[in-house]
Structure 1
Amino acid sequence: MAEEFPKSSAEIIDISDVPELFFEMLPDDWRLELESNWEEFAPAVKVYGIKQGEELIGGGLVFSAHTSETDNYPPIAEYYFDNDFLYIGYLWVAEKFRGRNLGDFWLNSVFETFPKNPFWLSIEDAGLAKFYMKNEFTLEREVIYSGGKDWIYVRKPASELI
């Protein structure tokens, strides 16, 4: 059974002004993708880190507008953003801290920060579906495009959840 992470020892912090702190911990392909697109992404993104003591141990991005990140399905992205959905991307927890429900902690903190917004995300790895479904996302659609296949998940705001 996964060890529950003591929430009192972790906090979510807005590091949008210093995103490189988060980028440094990411796999090379993610880091390069973000660094090469950051000028475009920055006006539409908030970066929230998971901090334990003085150490940044994870985090993720919350997009508020269409960017090249969602270019595989522009009409879908525009529909969601036009309807006040926020897009979650690049959710990451350092390997030595995995299995402690920190991804859940990050998501719930973001949901609390934006209680009136619905959320959407896309995954390439079907193995992540269980994690997102556990966090009240539902499969909206499968998208096949020239680069492969993604699954789009959505989560309604707390006021709309039963």
Structure 2
Amino acid sequence: MTLEKSLDVELFFSILPQDWKVGILPFWDDYNSSTTCLVIKDNNEIIAGGLIFSKCPPDMLYAKQEADFWFEAGYKYLGFIYVSESRRGQNLGSFWLNSLKEMYPETKFWLTIEDLNLDHFYVKNGFRMNKSLFNDGVEERIYISC
């Protein structure tokens, strides 16, 4: 398995759940030039991946001021991190995050989670919870790389 930059982002988008696609596809033309897609391939098939944003992503526009703070502090935003359901439980998310840090050793990252059960996963992978945000009454947490 390898982690690589994907030049065909549409292939990565094809493995995402429908509600995630709705959150990124309509905006992709505005983000394409400032976003990097990194994918994990196994036998030339994309099995996991995520996006590295250099500007406020569409799912964070409700908290643009907060997002701008992190970008101005030199952080990149990690979003749409996804592992194919059939490949879960194989440490691919950890592999993606660790490989990302190896590829960009000088870069600091931030991300948000809505599924608070993922706290342990991100802490285990070198992130710490920074603060909570509320989007339409739903809690999201900001995590930053340590």
TM surpasses 0.5: yes
Q: Which residue of 1 aligns with 2:113?
A: 123
Question: Once the 2 structures are TM-superposed, how far is the Cα of residue 30 of structure 1 from its aligned partner?
Answer: 0.7
Matched, 1:101 2:91: yes
Structure 2 counterpart of 1:3: none
For residue 72 of structure 1, report the CA deviation from its aligned partner. Answer: 2.1
- More strand per residue: 1 or 2? 2
How far apart are the structure 1 equivalents of 2:22 and 2:64? 22
Structure number with higher helix proportion: 2
Instruction: Give a deviation string over 1:2-60, Cα, whole Å, max 9, x none.
Output: xxxxxxxx101111x31110011110111222211101221221001100112111101
Map of 1:26-105 to 2, 5 A cutoff?
26-105=16-95
Q: Percent identity?
A: 35
SS in 2 for 1:107: helix
Runs of 4+ aligned residues of structure 1 deviating over 3 Å after TM superposition are: none
Q: Secondary structure at the match of 1:71?
A: helix
C-alpha contact (below 8 Å) 1:40/1:67 kept by paired residues: no
* Alignment partner of 1:142 is 2:140: no
Shift of 1:147: 5.3
Gaps of at least 5 residues in structure 1 are: 1-9, 157-162
Alpha-carbon separation, structure 2, partners of 1:131 and 1:91: 13
Residue 111 of structure 1 is aligned with which of 83, 98, 101? 101
Is the counterpart of residue 24 in structure 1 residue 14 in structure 2? Answer: yes
Deviations 1:45-95 (A, max 9, x none): 100110011211110111112233321211211111011101111111111
Instruction: Tell me the distance in 1 between the aligned counterparts of 2:18 and 2:77.
Output: 22
TM-score normalised by L of structure 2: 0.94
Task: Give me the TM-score of the superposition, normalised by structure 1.
Answer: 0.85
Q: Does the 8 Å CA contact 1:11/1:52 hold for their aligned counterparts?
A: yes
Give the drift of 1:111: 0.8
Structure 2 residue identity aligned to 1:62: I
Distance 2:53 2:102 in 1: 16
Offset of residue 148 of structure 1: 2.2
Structure exhibiting the larger radius of gyration computed from Cα positions: 1
Residue 15 of structure 2 aligns to a residue whose secondary structure is coil
